[in-house]
Amino acid sequence: NAGVTQTPKFQVLKTGQSMTLQCAQDMNHNSMYWYRQDPGMGLRLIYYSASEGTTDKGEVPNGYNVSRLNKREFSLRLESAAPSQTSVYFCASSEGSRGHTDTQYFGPGTRLTVL
Amino acid sequence: AQSVTQPDIHITVSEGASLELRCNYSYGATPYLFWYVQSPGQGLQLLLKYFSGDTLVQGIKGFEAEFKRSQSSFNLRKPSVHWSDAAEYFCAVGLTGGFKTIFGAGTRLFVKA
């Protein structure tokens, strides 16, 4: 049982390049999330998916797109990377579909640098 | 506006000493409260959570937290800190009616021998 896995662990991009961060969970969870973590700011929600086939914007969605490919996988795409998107990105999942009461299980993170 | 404040950016305690990490929240409705821990290079792991009932909740690794509605606080405590407790700790509030959890900025704990 691997829990929540993320690839890649590290990535360096040039401004304007695109990339997709991959996330998968093997816990049969309904909900999945993408967060970014910046120094002194805690975690901020980018997008979430309450169930397979649905996605919704979180607090900081601009510049990102997501796909809930199936129940296991939830990817985050940066179409045209900007230096402001330099951050650590965490994927998380939770069993239920109520969000605010669920325990979230986090992946190890992707450290992204945009030059 | 809803917010979570962790007043201490970092704290240093000696191994074996007691620990208290502070968390204050601003939220009009009944809060759903969480403490998560992040070890270096790892994702966040749930330590404990409070939804209702007894205001003193027990978590993993010997941690406990007390909800005080009158002070809008949910402080995390441990009677005796171990070197392996060195990590960053995040307080979080789940917002009713939405899918949003607000995280505090975190408190980094250093443990000295």
Nearest-angstrom CA–CA distance, A95 and A58? 19
Distance (Å) from the alpha carbon of B16 to chain A's nearest alpha carbon? 28
Distance (Å) from the alpha carbon of A92 to chain B's nearest alpha carbon? 9
B12 touches A: beta carbon within 8 Å = no
Please provide the average confidence, as pLDDT, over all residues in chain B: 92
Neighbours of A3 (CB within 10 A): 14
List CB contacts (< 8 A) between A90 and chain B: 43-44
Nearest-angstrom CA–CA distance, B35 and B43? 13
Which residue of A40, A41, A48 is in closest CB contact with B99?
A48
At residue B112, the pLDDT reads: 96
Q: Give the pLDDT mean for A38-55.
A: 90
Structure tokens at A85: 């998107």
C-alpha torsion A115→A34→B23→B12, nearest 10: -50
Digit-coded pLDDT (tens) for B47-77: 999 988 889 999 999 999 999 999 999 999 9
A108 touches B: beta carbon within 8 Å = yes
Digit-coded pLDDT (tens) for B92-104: 998 876 677 889 9
At residue B98, the pLDDT reads: 67
B29 touches A: beta carbon within 8 Å = no
